[in-house]
Amino acid sequence: MKTVDLKVRPIHHRLSDRALPAAWPVRAHIFLCMLAYYVEWHLKEAWRELLFTDEDQAAKTTRDPVAPAERSAGAKAKIARRHHADGTPIHSFQTLLTELATIVRNTCCTSAEADAPTFTVTTQSNPLQRRALDLIDQLAV
């Protein structure tokens, strides 16, 4: 499992008991890392309004690509107030994932017998979690 801060670092694969060419495990690892970066990028784009991310996309087209990026006035205000107008907190990517991690579905069994009836219990999502999940549903990938 990768952490939220994805890093591609040196990897070591043993090949003594494998019949694969040496480059395959490395290529597979790099592919999975790039796939994780891609998913993270899409999530950050979808959750732009919930994160401390600049929402002024028009500024990207007019700024110098070589000059250091400057935050817009809206982004600076978002960082200063740390809450949305409705009172919900603005999150970093990691804290939003931590908030979403509290949604769980448990399968419960009524007894230890193999054929015992089971039922599922799913936690109810709060408004922030529902909004984050709705924004993911709107992704056009």
Stronger pLDDT, 64 or 91, i.e. the higher one: 91
| Tens digit of each residue's pLDDT (9 = 90 or more) over 11-51 | 665 555 555 566 677 778 888 888 988 999 999 999 998 99
Q: How far apart are CA 101 and CA 118, in angstroms?
A: 23
H or E, element range at 121: strand 118-122
Is 70 exceeded by the pLDDT of residue 123?
yes
- Tell which phi-psi region holds residue 87, choosing left (phi > 0), alpha (psi between -120 and 50) or beta: left
Looking at residue 14, its amino acid is R
How many whole angstroms separate alpha carbon 72 and alpha carbon 78? 10
The yes-or-no verdict on residue 1 having pLDDT over 50 is: no
Asked whether 46 and 97 are in contact (CB, 8 A), the reply is no
Question: So where are the chain's domains?
Answer: 47-137
Of 60 and 97, the structure prediction assigns the larger pLDDT to 97
Nearest to 133 by CA among 87, 89, 102: 102
pLDDT at position 88 over 60: yes
Closest C-alpha to 116, from 129, 125, 126, 107:
107
pLDDT value of position 18: 56
pLDDT at residue number 20: 55
Tokens of 59: 């500024």
Choose between 5 and 39: higher pLDDT. 39
Q: Convert the pLDDT of each residue in 52-80 to its tens digit.
A: 888 877 777 787 888 887 888 878 888 89
Q: Is the dihedral of CA 131, 90, 92, 126 positive or negative?
A: negative
The phi-psi region of residue 9 (left if phi > 0; otherwise alpha if psi is between -120 and 50; otherwise beta) is beta
Place of tokens 């999975």: 32
pLDDT at res. 124:
92
According to the model, what pLDDT value does residue 31 have? 87
